[in-house]
Each structure stands twice: as structure tokens, then as C-alpha cells.
Homo-oligomer: A and B are copies of this chain.
């Protein structure tokens, strides 16, 4: 299965009154992680949507271990944990390289659906990408 890593910055608009990143942001960063992984592996999510297929989250777990602070650069590690014809599972870890702290981990399950949210089967071409080999590190690029 493919895996990869990318980098996000904690923006001021990501923070809350505790002066740390609000926990909704980790959910958005997971989305950034899988988006950049798919792009790096050669099958951008935009292309999948162009083929009339979406991958909405149907189940999600997150564990928060330490707070992300304003202006932190975070490394989002993402891997495909499972990919059947109808379901894809990603796993994530969010780390802060400056002190090598693991900040959060999680998992998202996604159903393949058409644009009317009816369940469909994933094209074999996508499954081949998801179940391929390779580690894609785009940590130096904007995302």
C-alpha cells in the first residue's frame, strides 16, 4: 500500500482560545494528507471526482497526544491501510519535526459513491494506485 508525508503550517486561523490548534483542524489536515498522497501517487482526487466518484468519510477516529501550537510546521504522514472495491481506509500520524513529538494519530474510512451519494465500485485503476508500492514525501512543497 502507498504511504507519504507532507507539511502544513499551523495558521493563526487554526488556533483557538487555548492558544493551540483547534481539534477540527486535525480533521482538515488528515484530508490534506490523503489528498497529497493521491496526487503524489499519480491519481489526484480531482481526477476521481472528474470520473464521477467521491470518497466521503464514513467513519473516523482521532487520538490527540499533544497540542499543536501557532506557527508550528507539522508533518502529516498518511498511508493506505485497506482498499477494497467499495471501501478505502487511511491511517495518519501528525508529528512536529522540531521536537520529534507525535501530536495526533487517526484513521478514516471512506465509501466509494457517485455524485448522488449512491455506493459504487472503485475503478481498478484507482485500486492499483492505492495498493501499489511507494513512499511519497512532498514535505518541502506547498499543500
Contacts and interface: CB of A to CB of B under 8 A. Distances in A.
Interface of A: 6-9, 11-13, 15-20, 22-24, 27-28, 31-32, 35, 44-46, 49, 54, 56-65, 67, 70-71, 73, 115, 117, 139-143
Looking at chain A's contact residues, the main secondary structure is: mixed
B8 A17 contact: no
> How many copies of this kind of chain does the complex include?
4
A60 B62 contact: yes
A27 to B, nearest CB: 5
Given A8-B142, A45-B12, A141-B142, A23 B56 contact: yes
B64 A143 contact: no
B45 A31 contact: no
